[in-house]
Structure 1
Amino acid sequence: MTDRKLNLSLLASLALCTAGAQAASPGQKTKKGTPEKPNVVIILADDLGFGDIACNGSFNTISTPNVDRLAAQGVRFANAHATAATSTPARYSILTGEYAWRQPGTGIAPGDAAMIVTPQHRTLPEMMQRAGYATAAVGKWHLGLGDKAGQQDWNGAVTPGLKDIGFDYSYIMAATADRVPCVYIENGKVVGLDLENHPEDSIRVSYSEPFPGEPTGRKNPELLKMKASHGHDMAIVNGIGRIGYMTGGGDALWVDENIADTITDRAVRFIERSVAAQQAAKETGTEKPFFLYFCTNDIHVPRSPHERFVGKSGMGPRGDAILQFDWSVGRVLDALDSLGIADNTLVILSSDNGPVVDDGYQDRAVELLGDHKPWGKFRGGKYSIFEAGTRVPAIARWPKRIPAGKVSDAAASQVDWFASLAALTGQALSEGEAPDSRDQLDVWLGKDRKKGRAHIVENAGTLSITVDDWKYIAPSGGAAKDRNVNIELGNSKEPQLYNLVEDMGERNNLAARYPEKVAELSALLEQVRETADRQ
């Protein structure tokens, strides 16, 4: 792939209107005493398992050269965790620095959910704005829009929106690919919707009743190019059944095979505009670093990779979608290189939760998996309190500060990105801001590669807490297994205790043998429940 060519002088003139004064708050100090604020890019995959990247031990089953390149140039984490085993709560924690289980209504969001991260929250992008950054969110969102569920104006301005929680620019999928509405929203407005010339394209969305005359996956399976294995049989968009009903949209409806191209292109464009703005503002000393929250749809269902990747993995659409995700990573890395800013850009790559193979569509993912183990050596997966639910791929690269080619065993959590980036950029957190986020900058910069966080808290129907080698799972009355996705959820009415060094697969429950350890960790978890984890 050739690098995109950038005419900086032309883009600089276009970007002058967005270049603003940089905040005066001091950041990390260099030896000369001047603020040090790198550009920051978070690349968040969707449902990418610990074993879904080659450099985590899967060289024989999957090819991820761009992710591997990132790891070779930075630090790869062996013990990094999302806070939850599903998308919405994990993303909530990243953007608020708060465990999602503290707040009601933070479960998996329908496509017409009201904003879950609201203008009343103090958010990660707002903190980065405070530090003088230009901010953007591109790709999957899945945290709700507007202030009332089911009452968004999809044909006008969807408000409140991302600009109200700290993002200067946004180009997002309204929710996620298997849920309606299947449209992109740029800065609060649906992209490509031309109601002046095509009033019949007016968008309506319902999560309760189908629209008269509109086919559904349940009643019209002959119209499907990808059939459901469970659920996903409501509205049909691009020959794929979705969750929820919609009508209208016309040319605004996305083409699933082009999603990765579309959102990756917007992410790269934001980087290019930001660099052009920095160039334009240099003479006045007002250049801004940028913060990009780039969330891919890969490898979430429905998996419809571009034809460039179809058949290339040997594992069907799921494996091909991993190759597509790796391509997206490469596009971003190539842009940073071609613009000459890679050395002073912190890139953090991770996933919102663990893997799932069959998540609702007949894409032969189970049949074609072969020797590939998306969960690595761990038990469970997406939806599960066992390790594979939240132990996720994680890599950090910043050539200027992070040692290359290192592996970190330090306990790390995505909830700490908020406080760690605040420490990096010199921002003091106010009372109640990012209440569960701890300054773990040394962990994420690869200085502490042994210890890390004192404890890891995970959420998937019940809670668990891990300290050193020991993991305690609180008793719960939920199902032991989700038979639709064939994943063990980890629920049990009895307390569970595992030694993750001796029993990485969480097969030998030691609770009865070590009641004092159960009591100790149960008490610590209860303390976390009752007080902010940053305290």
Structure 2
Amino acid sequence: MKKFFSRFTVVAAVIFLLPLFMNAQSKKPNVIIIYVDDLGYGDLGVTGAKGVKTPNLDRMAANGLLFTDGHCHASTCTPSRYSLLTGNYAFRNKAAILPGDAPALITEGTPTIASTLKRAGYHTAVIGKWHLGLGTGNINWNGYINMGPKEIGFDYSFLIPATGDRVPTVYTENQRVVNLDPKDPIQVSYEKKIGNRPTGTENPELLKMKADLQHSNTIVNGVSRIGFMGGGESALWKDEDFSLVFTQKAKEYITANKNNPFFLYFAFQDIHVPRVPHPDFAGKSSMGPRGDAIVQMDHYTGELIKTLDSLGIAENTLVIFSSDNGPVLDDGYDDKAVEMLGEHKPAGPFRGGKYSAFEAGTRVPTIAYWPSKIKPGVSDALFTQVDIYHSVSKLAGIKLNHNEALDSFDALPVLLGKDKKGRKYIIEEAFTLALRVGDWKYIHPVSMSTPQWLDHKKVESALSKQVQLYNLKADPAEKNNIAAKHPKKVIKMQALLEEIKQGNTRKAQTVQ
């Protein structure tokens, strides 16, 4: 009898535990994309930063895969975000930096990472900076915004609509402005002054920091912005709280979905202007607000990783950390970023930065972190964020439809450290198109001159009427244009670029 009960107990335990074991084995991994704004290749301790410490990201890199040749698609915000979420090159939709009241760039019916992962049972969220447009024109900030993240696959959203330097200076949650008083409706204009708030040009004495003319419209929280805004007083944000608020929302979201597969696109406002870090981080670097914002960003990235650890889901979560474009110092506000730079090199050994077709415009810090799956190390593989779409779809067991992520390739072996070579080519977009094939870099000539506003920011745009060709292995700083010495290489790369522009992305990938 005792043997019977013993055997019965074992069988019962197996019957009870087997479904749990099978569920644990079959549970799809969570995916988190941590997207920083304007973070340069050299802005982390692990990539050579001086004057600022990033212990959390350094630890994440040491326990994950650090890419030395990881790229966003474009050297500006909106195009990179568009390409990341759609798996399509930004130039195909003429994506460019948007004003704060622009209609949605990604419209309903356009496949995105979020909508695709939903097909596999994922819950999806976007928290942080959006800057991909909202609504369908003449946005109603005082009711439901009829076109936004929900319509392209996100179950939950908590956003700043554009960027910190643009109106409206409010949060939206699930496409409604947070804490809005209906008796104090919001008005927004990018053409003329509206409302009674002071502006940077009229009342410079009210500013926390001086700004250029473009950023000298409506003042909110002591910072003048691009554009004019009236009303919505109870809904106004406080810049110092951005990272804290976003991280708290992210932690709540992760906790609520810990037992389900989820996709979280977490987009920092840091270290984009206006750089107004919380007082807890003021003076934590030797570089002023820009350096302090890096410290702040590092701290809250660490908080997200700690949340995964505390919930016991870190080993079932792929985290991809990167930036939307390269670094910029003077981007409209006098925050001493240039004067306090010291020996720090935001772009590392590379030339250019934000707005530039040179390498620093798109070569950005990139870390893949997954404790149970990724062996720690450094990868020199050529990698682009455009491929994240296809890669995480493969991870979730999804076969892509014929009409989605047309420029995205399966780079999952690269992210997991199993492929050491990566892409055969990538596109870099910055007012022109640049093409990387291995160590070769081709920059397409344009008739336009560098815009005057870009000269003011002291950024080398790489815009030229002449063909440019560089070999990054011999010349990583792109100092020596060798197009004249390699006419056959130029012709070959021009032909390849034309194939890509015409939409022959798959064919182009067979390049030798």
Shorter-chain TM-score bucket reads over 0.9
Larger-gyration structure (1/2): 2
Q: Deviations over 1:303-345 (max 9, x none)?
A: 0000001011011000000001001101101100111111111
Residue among 359, 379, 385 paired with 2:351: 379
Q: For 1:214 and 1:50, how far apart are their aligned partners in 2?
A: 38
Q: CA deviation at 1:95?
A: 0.6
Name the structure 1 match of 2:75: 85
Q: What SS class does the counterpart of residue 231 from structure 1 fall into?
A: helix
Q: For 2:506 and 2:286, how far apart are their aligned partners in 1?
A: 45
After TM superposition, list the pairs within 5 Å mapping 1:89-168 onto structure 2. 89-104=79-94, 106-148=95-137, 151-168=138-155
**Residue identity opposite 1:448 in structure 2:** D
Pair 1:268–1:212, CA change in 2 (3 A): closer
1:269 correspondence with 2:264:
no
Q: CA deviation at 1:211?
A: 1.2
Residue among 174, 182, 187 paired with 1:204: 187
**Residue identity opposite 2:310 in structure 1:** S
Name the structure 2 match of 1:524: 496
Q: CA deviation at 1:480?
A: 4.1
* Aligned positions, number: 485
1:52 correspondence with 2:43:
yes
1:42 correspondence with 2:33:
yes
Name the structure 1 match of 2:331: 359
Q: For 1:500 and 1:380, how far apart are their aligned partners in 2?
A: 14
Percent identity over the alignment? 53
Q: For 2:251 and 2:24, how far apart are their aligned partners in 1?
A: 32
Q: CA deviation at 1:31?
A: 12
Q: CA deviation at 1:213?
A: 3.6
1:61 correspondence with 2:51:
yes
**Residue identity opposite 1:228 in structure 2:** A
Q: Deviations over 1:74-122 (max 9, x none)?
A: 1000001111000000000011000010113x10010000000111211
After TM superposition, list the pairs within 5 Å mapping 1:421-432 onto structure 2. 421-432=392-403
Q: CA deviation at 1:532?
A: 4.2
**Residue identity opposite 1:70 in structure 2:** M
Structure 2 residue ranges without an equivalent (≥5):
1-20, 508-512
Name the structure 2 match of 1:455: 425
Q: CA deviation at 1:229?
A: 3.5
After TM superposition, list the pairs within 5 Å mapping 1:389-400 onto structure 2. 389-400=361-372
Q: CA-atom RMSD, angstroms?
A: 1.6
1:475 correspondence with 2:445:
yes
Q: CA deviation at 1:230?
A: 4.8
Pair 1:168–1:534, CA change in 2 (3 A): farther
1:344 correspondence with 2:334:
no
1:249 correspondence with 2:198:
no
Report the TM-score, using the length of structure 2 for normalisation.
Answer: 0.93
Q: For 2:371 and 2:108, how far apart are their aligned partners in 1?
A: 35
Residue among 211, 214, 226 paired with 1:228: 211
Asked if the contact 1:97/1:435 (under 8 Å) is kept, the reply is yes
Q: For 1:433 and 1:213, how far apart are their aligned partners in 2?
A: 46
Name the structure 2 match of 1:187: 174
Report the TM-score, using the length of structure 1 for normalisation.
Answer: 0.89
Q: What SS class does the counterpart of residue 50 from structure 1 fall into?
A: coil
Asked if the contact 1:230/1:484 (under 8 Å) is kept, the reply is no
Residue among 464, 485, 493 paired with 2:465: 493
Residue among 261, 275, 283 paired with 1:311: 283
Asked if the contact 2:52/2:286 (under 8 Å) is kept, the reply is no
Q: For 2:456 and 2:32, how far apart are their aligned partners in 1?
A: 35
Asked if the contact 2:51/2:287 (under 8 Å) is kept, the reply is no
Q: What SS class does the counterpart of residue 246 from structure 1 fall into?
A: strand
Q: What SS class does the counterpart of residue 414 from structure 2 fall into?
A: helix
Q: What SS class does the counterpart of residue 423 from structure 2 fall into?
A: coil
